[in-house]
Amino acid sequence: MPSALDLRVRAARRHLRDDALRAEDIGIRYADARNAPHSGHFEGFASYDRTTDSCITAMLNVVARTHEVAADTVRASLRHRPVAGDALAMLSFAALFALVAYGVTGRVNRNFPLDGGRDSVVAVAAIILTSILVSGAAVMVGEWYAISLEVIRVGNGHLSYRTQRVPWTHHRTKLLVAGMALFWVMAALRRRIDAGRESDHATRWAGRPARKVATSPTSLAPPSTRVDRQ
């Protein structure tokens, strides 16, 4: 039964988006079962794409008629993503990356201390190089992480072109730079914390009383009075 939606209301727009996502997923599942490479009826990717497009269009038209909105409006609603979910994915991975960076920078700081002169140049170069390597790996792992969360959210292991809607896939360079910057922050923090620990350790040892050395009566006697035992 048709039920018109007032798209001026946020809840109505969210309802339309959810229905459009379900319709799109049904279309993709149908095309996968009917004409995908593993379906047993594969006739090439061009045929598969046509089947996918026709199925999704038919399903979106059903949603449009049901809610008495234009078909283009239904299709456009697919581009609106829940900001909270994408923010949670990025922030949770950033927290994990910070923990890894904290551990890695500890080893780099120990191997390349800032002792001044040429050693300091080498230490800074080691931090920069390591940040590039670790951040590059994190961008790739983070993309897999974000896509995995999208698979869980959609409920379909075959995202198809929906992978391109994951924000991570469009900001790789920015994420690399952000990862390097976070790595440098963690390196400075780790160096400061380690320096503070070393200072506290040295202070505690300096405040301890000198340890008395046990001596024997023979060792306290003058050399001339010592008795040699035969």
What HEC string does 172-215 produce?
A: HHHHHHHHHHHHHHHHHHHHHHHHHHHHHHHHHHHCCCCCCCCC
Q: Which residues span the domain enclosing 176?
A: 83-202
Q: Kindly state whether residues 70 and 178 are assigned to the same domain.
A: no
Q: Kindly state whether residues 73 and 123 are assigned to the same domain.
A: no
Take residue 117 and report the two structure tokens written for it. Answer: 């002169």
- Residue 209 domain-assigned? no
- Residue 118 domain-assigned? yes
- Residue 230 domain-assigned? no
- Residue 157 domain-assigned? yes
- Residue 210 domain-assigned? no
- Residue 218 domain-assigned? no
How far apart are alpha carbons 59 and 54 in whole angstroms? 9
Of 27, 58, 77, the domain-final residue: 77
Of 59, 77, 95, the domain-final residue: 77
Angle between helices 118-154 and 172-206 (to 10 degrees): 130
Q: Kindly state whether residues 29 and 102 are assigned to the same domain.
A: no
- Residue 221 domain-assigned? no
> Is the separation of the CB atoms in 126 and 111 below 8 Å?
yes
Take residue 167 and report the two structure tokens written for it. Answer: 């924000």
Take residue 189 and report the two structure tokens written for it. Answer: 């923090």
* Phi, psi (rounded to 5 degrees) for 159: -80, -25
- Residue 175 domain-assigned? yes
pLDDT in tens for each of the 230 residues of the chain?
A: 567 888 889 999 999 999 999 999 999 998 888 888 888 888 888 888 899 999 999 999 999 999 999 999 999 999 888 888 899 999 999 999 999 999 999 999 888 887 777 788 999 999 999 999 999 999 999 999 999 999 998 888 889 889 999 999 999 999 999 999 999 999 999 988 887 776 655 566 555 655 555 555 555 555 555 545 44
Q: Kindly state whether residues 108 and 182 are assigned to the same domain.
A: yes
- Domains held by the chain: number: 2
Q: Kindly state whether residues 69 and 161 are assigned to the same domain.
A: no
Of 31, 47, 77, the domain-final residue: 77
> Is the separation of the CB atoms in 132 and 180 below 8 Å?
yes
Q: Kindly state whether residues 120 and 177 are assigned to the same domain.
A: yes
Q: Kindly state whether residues 40 and 148 are assigned to the same domain.
A: no
> Is the separation of the CB atoms in 133 and 139 below 8 Å?
no
Number of Cβ atoms within 10 Å of the Cβ of 81: 15
pLDDT confidence of residue 230: 45
Q: Kindly state whether residues 190 and 97 are assigned to the same domain.
A: yes
